[in-house]
A and B are shown apart, each in its own frame.
Chain A
Amino acid sequence: MKRPALALTLVVASLMSPPQAAQQPVFRTRADAVLVDVSVREGNRPVLGLLAADFELTDNKVGQAVRLAMRENSAPLDVTVVIDTSESIDPAVLAREAAKLLDVRSLLKSEDRFRVLAFDSVVREVTTAAELAPAPDFERRHTALWQALGAVLLQKTAPDRRRLTLVVTDGMDTISMIPPELLLFLADRSDTVVDLVRVGNQKWAGAQYGGDFGTSDIDRYFSWLLREVVERTGGGYYGIPSTGDSAEHLREAIQEFRSRYLLSYAPAGVSTGGWHEIKVRVKKPGRYTVVARKGYLRH
């Protein structure tokens, strides 16, 4: 049984339906071109210097002629860090991680942009570490993780820039109005690459959330869904212990992101509507790990 959960909920079924009056593709394109961020690694080392001819890309199993829209290291970055400041976060861990994450700004180039969002019951933009302190009111301390992810997936990337989003959270959603399955719909249409770092929380070793947080069927489903969402954007899902260093992950993610290739192609030989599965590989000999978004939805 492959991904049957997608068909199970009414929510998903309706949200995946195309709108009645389709106009232009929502996925980021230039004219009729589709853009695909591609990471190529050999072991832990990014592979640089590849040419368009080194890539093989299929759109719904049909080979496409690709060109390099941007070479690695050539495009300015928009880096967004999204930090969970909800009830569950240990204030000491939050203070430590926030300071380090904000510090990562210094690694960026002058033409890059750095933005910090925080979320508890609401998603908000912050400019100083002080604004990351836990909210004074209890009602503001819930976890709107779905809405935070929804917000970053709904933002747009400026032309000729590339956007990387890192979400740091220790938990699952407790308050969002939007259903989590909506994130799949948004991820298929988003032009940001989302990495999600889930920080361990010692409190959850206890009997929180019905005594089964982390192991219940529902939690496992949500974990699977989160992983699916970020992978659809071409990003990754990482777990680190409560003593871990999410800023270290961000530093590596930025470095890795800079080394990514931005491929462009005009779909040929495929229907214009519906889901387009994308597969990318490197033709040159070697043991490469290639990461790219899984596809896009085109109307």
Chain B
Amino acid sequence: MALVAPFLWQSSGGRMLSRHNRLLVPVLGVVLSLSAGPAPSSVAQTAPLPPLVQRYINGEHGAVAAALANELQSKQQTSAFRAELQRRIRDWSAPIAATFVLEASAAAFPVSPRDAVEMLALGRSRLAGNVTASFELDWHLAAIALLQGPPGRHGSLRPGFDNDWPSGRLVFDRIGLLAEIRIARDRFPHDARLTLAFGIANEQGLHQYSYTRAVVLANPERSRPTLIEDGATGRTVARVPTDGEAPAREQLETTVRAFEEVAMSGSVDLAPTAKLHLGWMERFRGRHEVALRLWRDVLETSKDRSTRFLAMVFSGRAFMETARWDEAAEMFRAALTLEPRAQSAAVPLAAVLLAQNRADDAARVIERSLEQAADARDPWWAYLRGAFDEWPNRLQALRANLR
């Protein structure tokens, strides 16, 4: 326990312990006693790492998380610990703090995903210019992965994250996350990767309003909500919101601007991805020709299999929506040569064939798709819901870089 007081004293800037700080003492006492090494004399960035973090870095994530979980029995303790940690964590090196928040903390106390991304986004800003490119990229992509989706039941990395409804929780969190990413963007307005992350997060936040958005964009002049009535009873069964009620329009415009910025940045790595996303947004705005031109650019410049697949599927969808059946079928078929089991291409292809009065061919496409579905992987899933496959790998890379 003697080791704890100086630690708290240092971390609170030499002030006397507050009432909250005093509540922390037994908690931190246990946590810190897990450490094999001596307690640090300072938590400044240049000083030895706090033992808790050191243990975490040594790979003892489970022990650290369990200790925290066991000790934080009351809301008061949790709240106090969280406040203290947030004070200290600002003095730790940003990557360690961010990774700690991402991994060790999630099982134990309520640092939300929003906090985690804040650490990543703001920490990344602090690190800009003095870290290696690969580390920066890994860190950044981890932030994107977090924005794009939870690890779900991949299981071990952050078990507390998905305790109930991973996708639903993320819908709420994403709104908060955007605010934090925006802060980082303001500090580094010309960082294309951060802008792209912002756009993607924004776009994915839009998806829950996709129908609203389509309606609003199809008829922007509409001033009254549209009522859908039951033909038989005349009863109103649904009410489609107006422009004013739909939150998506402004968000869509913001997202478009982010993607445009990256698309025009000249970045060989990022521009095709930005154009892919920008095209999808333009399609939502009803600008199908603009979208198709962007996706043609993507197909001419990108060698990435998933990006090319999506450009083909998106083009097929745009052709389908404008009744250009032959071109739609051609695009979906091309996409299936890249990902033969992807139903995001197979089912619309069958629908197009049906529209061409080729019902037998359509049925054959469906039957083949059902046969091949067991091991299907579909880039569309990652586009729409998050790059889940990337997530554990990125965190592993982060951890490795910390050693």
Contact A124 B373 (CB under 8 A): yes
Contact B363 A139 (CB under 8 A): no
Contact B320 A217 (CB under 8 A): no
Q: Is A10 an interface residue (CB 8 A)?
A: yes
Contact A5 B323 (CB under 8 A): no
Q: Please, which residues of chain A bring their CB within 8 A of the CB of B321?
A: 10-11, 14-15
Q: Is A286 an interface residue (CB 8 A)?
A: no
A100 to chain B, nearest CB (A): 23
Interface-located stretch among A30-38, A51-59, A182-190: A182-190
Q: Please, which residues of chain A bring their CB within 8 A of the CB of B320?
A: 14-15
Contact A23 B357 (CB under 8 A): yes
Q: Please, which residues of chain A bring their CB within 8 A of the CB of B384?
A: 175
CA separation between A123 and B343, bound complex, in Å? Answer: 8
A203 to chain B, nearest CB (A): 7
Known: A147-B347, A154-B362, A155-B366. A139 touches B389 (CB 8 A): yes
Contact B166 A24 (CB under 8 A): no
Contact B229 A218 (CB under 8 A): no
Q: Which of B152, B214, B357 sits near A11, CB closer than 8 Å?
A: B214
Contact B238 A178 (CB under 8 A): no
Q: B224-254, CB under 8 A of A: which get 1 and which 0? A: 0111110100000111110000000000000
CA separation between A148 and B359, bound complex, in Å? Answer: 17
Contact A177 B348 (CB under 8 A): yes
Query: Main SS of the interface on chain A?
Result: loop
Contact B238 A122 (CB under 8 A): no
Contact A139 B152 (CB under 8 A): yes
CA separation between A159 and B57, bound complex, in Å? Answer: 67
Q: Which of A8, A139, A177 sits near B218, CB closer than 8 Å?
A: A8
Contact B240 A178 (CB under 8 A): no
Contact B154 A186 (CB under 8 A): no
Q: Please, which residues of chain B bring their CB within 8 A of the CB of A2?
A: 229, 231
Contact B238 A217 (CB under 8 A): yes
CA separation between A208 and B208, bound complex, in Å? Answer: 11
Can you report 9 residue pairs joining A to B where beta carbons are below 8 Å apart?
A: A19-B355, A117-B370, A124-B376, A138-B152, A139-B385, A154-B350, A156-B359, A220-B228, A221-B228
Give B contacts to A, CB under 8 Å: 149-154, 162, 164-168, 171-172, 208-209, 211-212, 214-215, 218-219, 225-229, 231, 237-241, 286, 313, 317, 320-323, 325, 343-345, 347-348, 350-351, 354-357, 359-360, 362-363, 365-367, 369-371, 373-374, 376, 378, 380-382, 384-386, 388-389
